[in-house]
Amino acid sequence: MAKLPKVPKGTLGKAPLAKTPHRAPPPKAQTQTQTQSRAQAQARAKQWHIARDNKPEIHSPPKSPSSKLKPSSSTQSPPRAFTPPPPRPRQHELELASSQTLHRAKVTRWRQTPLLICGLAAFGIGLYSVQLWISLSRDPPSDIPDDVSDRFDKEAEGYDEKVNIAEILLGLSSKRKALTEQAKGHVLEVAVGTGRNIDYYPRKRCDTVTLLDSSGPMLSVAKRKWRDTHGGEYFGRVVFKQQSALDEIVPPYGSHGGFDTVIQTMGLCSTSRPVDLLRNLERCTREDGGRILLLEHGKSYFGWLNGLLDRTAPQHAVEHGCWWNKDIGAIVEESGLEVVEIKRYNFGTTWWVELRPRTGLKRGMGMNGDVVVDDGDNNNNDAAVAVGKVDLSTNNSRQVAQRSWWALWR
């Protein structure tokens, strides 16, 4: 390989060096400002490192880029103090809070119930007062028939809705229940109406039940109500009769001298012959152990209330077929039946009467109240004492009970 020739030493010279411009030293004031800024930055960095070393670790969620703040060169906010989370509630504290909540709910409910009852009572009293004021403001009609029972035919379908509120406020529903629950044996209910006592019959203690009323529409409602309440299984021992309670009432077959229990609620007020009605009930009731139970409304203890009843009675009779100012005590006394108990409610206007037939009477009592008293001596014809006008040729025979159709298959 051929070698290159060597270059002589003086041929290649050194490149001239570029001359750098001469810089003047900075002024003295600017040098001091930079030194101070550098010292302040070092002091802030030192404080930040000290605070970071003393601050406990808190795992906080990562911050979004938008929440990052640019550090201020002039001021730096001090670090916030650490606040520990509140302690968790214990089990007994939770149970106490739950019981307190339930107690507050009960107290609220207890307050609402009396307010509701008072509101309903005030509404009922106000409604009754308005009706009473309307009755007082009207002039009584001049021509009122003695028998106003035909009003019940028109009001049969809506009768229960009309009297429900008044009977609840006066406590008549509970008294109807207590009266009807005493029924036993062969039972007769007179003036049954729409059957407002049907729900309370003790069926297991009743052999037969005879429901009697002079109003056909009312009796139809009572028949439908009995079927809906007690069903058709018991319907064979129930007899519905449309007749007046002043006519002869024939006891069912097997009653042995009459009904064991006779019930009438709000019936004397709608008849023009209440004394004859009670005597007719006595005729069809057993002498030995028979009972007549009445729940009626009439005159009060107080004279001012009796005057109010007397003033409103004609208009009430025209609209509802009921005279509510009758003296029930005087009617019972005039009938001559033996009084077992009399109780009165609602300022004396509601009468609870328990009667029983007089012993020693023959079943020949006429509708005019004439009876024949027998002292038990059948051989002495002079022992029969006539009370009133008595026709022995027609009234000396006892009633013969007729056999009912349903008894053939019992």
Q: Where are the domains of the chain?
A: 151-359, 361-403
Nearest-5° Cα angle at 145, 139 to 149 = 105
Pair 299, 326: CB distance under 8 Å: yes
Per-residue pLDDT of the chain (410 residues; tens, 9 = 90+): 555 566 555 555 555 555 555 555 555 556 677 777 778 888 887 777 677 666 555 555 555 555 445 555 455 666 777 677 777 777 777 777 788 888 888 787 777 788 888 888 888 788 877 876 776 677 766 677 667 777 788 888 888 888 888 888 888 999 999 999 999 999 999 999 999 999 999 988 999 999 999 999 999 999 999 988 887 656 678 999 999 999 999 998 888 889 999 999 999 988 989 999 999 999 999 998 899 999 999 999 999 999 888 888 888 888 878 888 999 999 999 999 999 999 999 999 999 999 999 987 654 454 444 444 444 444 443 433 333 333 333 333 333 333 333 333 33
Res 22: pLDDT: 55
Q: What's domain 151-359's superfamily in CATH?
A: Vaccinia Virus protein VP39 (3.40.50.150)
Res 50: pLDDT: 72
Residues facing residue 234 across a β-bridge: none
Radius of gyration for the alpha carbons in the chain, expressed in angstroms and rounded: 53
Res 329: pLDDT: 94
Res 155: pLDDT: 83
**Distance in angstroms (rounded) separating the CA atoms of residues 35 and 168:** 102
Q: Give the β-pairing of 291-297 and 350-356.
A: antiparallel
